[in-house]
Amino acid sequence: MPLTAEQIDMLDKLGPSNVRERLQYARVGGTSVLPEVSHSDVEGWLAKKDSEASKLQADTLWWAKAAALIGLVGIIVAVLVAVFGK
């Protein structure tokens, strides 16, 4: 059964690291991370959060590379202007 909005909110409040830790202990004791939420639903939520974090990291890296390239082009243009501007 898919997670309800309320269950997603509770998982979001706990955060992925706390949910991951609770999931480990829940497996040992046979209990659930949240009442009436299956382990597979929690694992699906964790996978989605991991995917979102990976995308954010990749997007951040792309923008960092773009900024570095723009900075490098700016330095090259400044050097060319200084050399050929005289």
Tell which residue, 21, 50, 19, has the closest CA to residue 37: 19
User: Which residue intervals of the chain are DSSP H helices?
Assistant: 5-14, 16-29, 39-84
pTM: 0.71
Name the DSSP class of 6.
H
Q: What is the pLDDT of residue 63?
A: 98
What separation, in Å, do the N-terminal and C-terminal C-alpha atoms of the chain show?
Answer: 73
Q: Give the pLDDT confidence of 21-39 residue by residue, as tens digits.
A: 888 877 665 667 777 788 8
Give dist(CA 23, CA 33) in Å, integer. Answer: 6
Q: What is the pLDDT of residue 53?
A: 96
